[in-house]
A and B are shown apart, each in its own frame.
Chain A
Amino acid sequence: TQLLEQSPQFLSIQEGENLTVYCNSSSVFSSLQWYRQEPGEGPVLLVTVVTGGEVKKLKRLTFQFGDARKDSSLHITAAQPGDTGLYLCAGENYGQNFVFGPGTRLSVLP
């Protein structure tokens, strides 16, 4: 059983569409990160959220940490082909362990 679940597992959309991907857990996390991984590359950090209810924006990407600190979402507005990649959430649950979710593989078609 994974501590972090991500949905959907795969997502294929057209350029210009909006999308939301989710990261959920039954555990409470002290902080949560989102990484993007492009083919043949290692993951790269997009954002870290640490406060329940926190919302952070990075250009067309909006990240939210759930009030109960058990879930997070990533919303992309007007997706572009450059957004294609594997989106991974990762979290630390109060000193027990730092874990990655299985990822959402996003494909944005031109």
Chain B
Amino acid sequence: NAGVTQTPKFRVLKTGQSMTLLCAQDMNHEYMYWYRQDPGMGLRLIHYSVGEGTTAKGEVPDGYNVSRLKKQNFLLGLESAAPSQTSVYFCASSRIWTGGFNTGELFFGEGSRLTVL
């Protein structure tokens, strides 16, 4: 059972370079999310998607773009990386939306550690 798979797991970039993180889920979930995790800050939502072809901004969207062309994939792009984007990035998916009384369980990938020099 693969669940949520993220690639790559590690990446080092120079300031100004671009890259794409790929997230794939095999649970047929409608909802997908990208979070970043920084020490003492918890997980902060970057962008999310409520279904194929849809994307929306989260709490910290600046400097990132996303696409969800296929239901099972959610891509996170950095067009011009900055040192402030050094972080661990987590993709998650859920069957039920993370809102309301029936908050859905989030299934996370193993994370992608990005360092921007």
Instruction: Give the B-binding residues of A (Cβ under 8 A).
Output: 2, 4, 9, 30-31, 33, 35, 40-45, 48, 50, 88, 90, 92, 94-95, 97-103
Contact = CB atoms under 8 A, between A and B. Distances in A.
Given A42-B90, A48-B105, A98 B42 contact: no
Contacts of A50: 101, 103
A43 B99 CA distance: 18
B103 A42 contact: no
Contacts of B108: 42-44
Given A42-B111, A45-B106, A97 B101 contact: no
Interface in B87-102: 90, 92, 98-102
Interface of B: 4, 35, 40-45, 59, 90, 92, 98-103, 105-106, 108-111
Nearest to A98: B98
Contacts of A98: 45, 98-99, 103
Contacts of B35: 100
Which of A41, A42, A92, A97: most chain B CB closer than 10 A?
A42
Main secondary structure of the interface of B (DSSP, over half): loop
A42 B4 contact: yes
A92 B40 contact: no
A42 B99 CA distance: 20
Given A43-B108, A95-B100, A97-B59, A88 B4 contact: no
A38 to B, nearest CB: 10
Given A43-B43, A43-B106, A99-B59, 12 more contacts: A4-B42, A30-B103, A31-B100, A40-B110, A42-B108, A42-B111, A43-B90, A50-B101, A50-B103, A92-B103, A94-B100, A99-B42
